[in-house]
Amino acid sequence: MSRTGGFAEYAEYPLSAAELPSGWFLLVARGCDHAILESEVLARLSEDGCHVVACSVEEHVMCCSAEEWRAGARLWGAQHDAQKGMLHLKSDGSPPVGFDEVQRTYADHQRAEGGEKADVDYYFEIPLQTAKSIVGFKHDEATPNLEPASFESVVGSLGSRHRDSKRSWWRFWR
């Protein structure tokens, strides 16, 4: 993968990157089915003590997921799919500290709006807010000290990354 020197706002390029004020490095791929979200890729990216938090967002069908990887292993995952029900939430592994509070908060909001009959889907927020609690970024919220047009275009193939490479310019961990 290589930097292009072209900058734009979030998700304007097929693949872009930005350093977050929190110290995390954000790689954004347009499309919720991008190869970067495959388990094999996330495991490889998180090897050697690296820390990866991955999210997938498909707003038009209200489906999203978040997961965390370290040292080649998946620690936890959370998914919401409104097609399976407004209150659908699946989680596994050992979610981070704060997950239960995020889940309670948005479940309370959902109940207050009418539960499954509500016109709003608060459960969609649970995986994404959990990821935000770790990295300090959510795709549809302003991030303090991150300029909107600070996402640099990236080109290349994840599959072509040489496993013995000494040093990459991009990193997902702090």
Q: What's residue 48's pLDDT?
A: 80
pLDDT band at 138 (very low <50, low <70, confident <90, very high): very high
pLDDT at 74 exceeding the cut of 70: yes
pLDDT at 174: 43
Query: How much is the mean pLDDT over the chain?
Result: 90
Label each residue of the chain as H, E or C: CEEEEEEECCCCCCEEEEECCCCCEEEEECCCCCHHHCHHHHHHHCCCCCEEEEEEEEHHHCEEEEEEEECCEEEEEEEEEHHHCCCCCEEEECCCCCHHHHHHHHHHHHHHCCHHHCCCCHHHHHHHHHHHHHHCCCCCCCCCCCCCCCEEEEECCHHHCCCCCCCCCCCCCC
- Residue 120's alpha-carbon distances to 63, 89, 98, 115, 116, in angstroms, are 13, 15, 23, 9, 9
Which of 30, 20, 76, 74 is CA-nearest to residue 56?
30
Q: At what angle do helices 99-112 and 125-135 cross, to 10 degrees?
A: 140
pLDDT tens string 76-93: 999 999 999 999 999 999
158 has pLDDT over 80: no
Q: What pLDDT does residue 156 have? A: 79
pLDDT average, residue stretch 15-23: 95
How crowded is residue 137: how many other Cβ atoms within 10 Å of its Cβ? 21
Confidence of residue 118 (pLDDT cuts 50, 70, 90): very high
Entry pTM: 0.87
CB 123 within 8 A of CB 106: yes
pLDDT score of 65 more than 90: yes
Residue corresponding to tokens 């996402």: 151
Query: Looking at the predicted structure, is the pLDDT value of residue 55 above 60?
Result: yes
Rg (CA), the chain: 17
